[in-house]
């Protein structure tokens, strides 16, 4: 049994083979299966859907906390027409969280198992894959409920999450001509991010601002940027709102991926409440990846004292056929639909929000897709094959 090893550079090369629409569809398939209606208790529901996500295991080290996250995304037990196999599988992601921080991001590796033999199939460098799968899920939310032709993007944070979000959104929406990056300080990482995306998208005007509370000028510039935004992406570890609801104009789509504990929050309760009064056919425009996870981990939603009826899972918005697979024709029509502008000039009306804390099967899907892409190349020109790994 051979073992495929994919380095960071291998992963970069493979990821470049996927378009934003490819990645968006991948997450649509994942979330549609995740949110598939099934009777029974929550754990039993997920098992019936072919989904297994045991609680993550945390192991302390002197300078890191190591997280082990196993998951399986398989066919539903009653699914006669199985979904495409290129995103299904079983994997374990291992992430080492530095106790003092690391400008390179979190060291991460995903072990993908062979479905037939149960043996190790591939070892994948996952340093960038978490950011990529999050950005793909966020892009799906923008395509489903956000503005059809956004022109201005504002981001908070300067890590790999923000880089992936900027990259996918600008490639998917060429209508975006202005992007403002807000970071706590104008450090080397923030400057490097601006330089990277500026060279990648020369037709977009980029601005880098520091959210220094002691600078009146910076605060004014940030307020102006937020007030003009059609899209806002927040990927920080903040414990207080990054901007007030009164800065956000009606019709803005806000993506929140930073908070993952009850103490963390990136926006205020007033902004959350604005998503509960939609001017759409939905009962709410507060979209989440997982109701259960967000109600336990998302500080913004916990502080607002919300219940499951206040939110809708993104997988519930994806059109599916009778077997629970994505209805490609209906899905394509939905994401290409031209939605009328909803920015009527007000700053206290409806907005759309996507809150994501991440679900383990996203890791399975993105790692499996990358591994299968590598194996599809004739001659195995990407990655290292260890032929005699298991005899």
Q: What is the pLDDT of residues 323-363, one digit of tens each?
A: 888 999 999 999 998 877 665 678 999 999 999 999 999 99
Is residue 81 scored above 50 in pLDDT? no
Instruction: Report the C-alpha gap between 244 and 362 in whole angstroms.
Output: 31
Instruction: Report the C-alpha gap between 72 and 114 in whole angstroms.
Output: 12
pLDDT, mean of residues 197-216: 90
pLDDT, mean of residues 37-45: 53
Is residue 122 scored above 80 in pLDDT? yes
Q: Residue 372: which domain range? A: 3-130+360-386
Q: Is the Cβ–Cβ distance between 234 and 159 less than 8 Å?
A: no
Q: Look at residue 39 in the predicted model and tell me its pLDDT.
A: 41
Q: Look at residue 99 in the predicted model and tell me its pLDDT.
A: 75
Instruction: Report the C-alpha gap between 365 and 351 in whole angstroms.
Output: 30
pLDDT, mean of residues 207-225: 85
Residues 111 and 137 in one domain: no
Residues 342 and 366 in one domain: no
Q: Which residues contact 247 (CB under 8 A, 6 or more apart)?
A: 223, 226, 227, 347
Instruction: Report the C-alpha gap between 37 and 313 in whole angstroms.
Output: 11
Phi-psi region of 157 (alpha: psi -120 to 50; beta: other; left: phi over 0): left
Asked whether residue 246 is assigned to any structural domain, the reply reads: yes
**What are the two backbone dihedrals, phi and then psi, of residue 234, each rounded to the nearest 5 degrees?**
-120, 125
Q: Look at residue 40 in the predicted model and tell me its pLDDT.
A: 42
**What share of the chain in percent tops pLDDT 90?**
74
Q: Is the Cβ–Cβ distance between 128 and 12 less than 8 Å?
A: yes
Residues 198 and 264 in one domain: yes
Instruction: Report the C-alpha gap between 30 and 355 in whole angstroms.
Output: 16
The total domain count for the chain is: 2
Residue 113, domain CATH:
3.30.1780.10
Residues 350 and 206 in one domain: yes
Strand partners, 6: 124
Residues 187 and 327 in one domain: yes
Asked whether residue 208 is assigned to any structural domain, the reply reads: yes
Residues 247 and 296 in one domain: yes
Strand partners, 124: 6, 110
pLDDT, mean of residues 139-160: 96
Stronger pLDDT, 241 or 79, i.e. the higher one:
241
Residues 125 and 210 in one domain: no
Distances (CA, A) of 208 to 157, 195, 287, 306: 11, 10, 29, 34
The mean pLDDT value of the chain amounts to 90
Instruction: Report the C-alpha gap between 152 and 230 in whole angstroms.
Output: 5
C-alpha 15: how far from chain center: 15
Asked whether residue 382 is assigned to any structural domain, the reply reads: yes
Tokens coding 158:
């300067």
Which range, 99-103, 170-174, 236-240, 274-278, has the best average confidence (pLDDT)?
170-174
How buried is residue 114: exposed, middle or buried, by Cβ count under 10 Å (0-12/13-18/19+)?
middle
Q: Look at residue 324 in the predicted model and tell me its pLDDT.
A: 83
How buried is residue 318: exposed, middle or buried, by Cβ count under 10 Å (0-12/13-18/19+)?
buried
Residues 242 and 379 in one domain: no
Residue 138, domain CATH:
3.40.50.720
Tokens coding 126:
């996952």
Instruction: Among 82-96, 103-117, 282-296, name the one with the lowest average pLDDT.
Output: 82-96
Residues 64 and 138 in one domain: no
Residues 108 and 162 in one domain: no
Confidence of residue 183 (pLDDT cuts 50, 70, 90): very high
Q: Look at residue 343 in the predicted model and tell me its pLDDT.
A: 59
pTM for this predicted structure: 0.92
How buried is residue 282: exposed, middle or buried, by Cβ count under 10 Å (0-12/13-18/19+)?
middle
Instruction: Among 21-35, 162-176, 195-209, 333-347, name the one with the lowest average pLDDT.
Output: 333-347
How buried is residue 289: exposed, middle or buried, by Cβ count under 10 Å (0-12/13-18/19+)?
buried
Q: Is 274 helix (H, G, I), strand (E, B) or coil?
A: helix
Phi-psi region of 223 (alpha: psi -120 to 50; beta: other; left: phi over 0): alpha
Q: Look at residue 243 in the predicted model and tell me its pLDDT.
A: 97
Residue-wise pLDDT tens digits, 89-107:
999 999 988 877 665 666 7
Residues 192 and 299 in one domain: yes
Strand partners, 385: 4
pLDDT, mean of residues 4-26: 96
Tokens coding 319:
């059109």
Residue with tokens 């993105």: 366
Asked whether residue 136 is assigned to any structural domain, the reply reads: yes
Q: Look at residue 38 in the predicted model and tell me its pLDDT.
A: 64
Residues 350 and 364 in one domain: no
DSSP label of 324: S
Asked whether residue 391 is assigned to any structural domain, the reply reads: no
Tokens coding 318:
């994806």
Is residue 78 scored above 70 in pLDDT? no
C-alpha 35: how far from chain center: 16
């Amino acid at each position: 049994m051979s073992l495929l090893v994919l380095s960071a550079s291998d992963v970069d090369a493979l990821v470049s083979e996927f378009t934003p629409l490819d990645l968006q569809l991948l997450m649509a398939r994942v979330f549609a299966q995740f949110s598939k209606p099934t009777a029974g208790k929550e754990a039993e529901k997920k098992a019936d859907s072919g989904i297994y996500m045991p609680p993550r295991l945390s192991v302390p080290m002197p300078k890191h906390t190591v997280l082990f996250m196993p998951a399986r995304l398989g066919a539903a037990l009653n699914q006669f027409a199985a979904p495409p196999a290129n995103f299904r599988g079983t994997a374990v992601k291992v992430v080492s969280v530095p106790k003092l921080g690391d400008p390179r991001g979190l060291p991460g590796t995903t072990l993908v198992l062979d479905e037939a033999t149960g043996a190790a199939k591939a070892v994948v460098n996952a340093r960038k894959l978490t950011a990529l799968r999050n950005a793909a899920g966020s892009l799906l939310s923008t395509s489903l409920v956000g503005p059809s032709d956004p022109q201005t993007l504002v981001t908070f944070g300067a890590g790999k999450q923000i880089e992936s979000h900027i990259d996918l959104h600008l490639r998917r929406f060429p209508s975006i001509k202005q992007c403002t990056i807000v970071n706590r300080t104008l450090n080397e990482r923030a400057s490097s991010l601006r330089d990277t995306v500026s060279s990648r998208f020369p037709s977009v005007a980029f601005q880098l601002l520091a959210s220094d509370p002691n600078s009146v000028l910076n605060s004014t510039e940030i307020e102006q940027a937020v007030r003009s935004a059609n899209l806002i992406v927040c990927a920080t570890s903040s414990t207080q709102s990054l901007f007030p609801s009164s800065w956000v104009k009606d019709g803005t789509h806000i993506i929140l991926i930073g908070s993952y504990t009850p103490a963390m929050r990136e926006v205020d309760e007033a902004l959350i409440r604005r998503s509960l009064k939609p001017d759409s056919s939905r009962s709410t425009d507060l979209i989440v990846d997982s109701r259960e996870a967000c109600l336990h981990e998302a500080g913004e939603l916990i502080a607002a004292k919300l219940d499951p009826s206040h939110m809708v899972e993104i997988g519930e918005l994806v059109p599916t056929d009778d077997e629970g697979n994505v209805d490609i024709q209906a899905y394509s029509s939905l994401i290409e639909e031209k939605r009328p502008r909803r920015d009527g000039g007000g700053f206290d009306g409806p907005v759309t929000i996507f809150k994501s804390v991440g679900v383990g099967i996203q890791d399975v899907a993105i790692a499996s897709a990358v591994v299968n892409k590598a194996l599809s190349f004739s001659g195995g020109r990407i990655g290292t094959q260890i032929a005699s790994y298991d005899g």
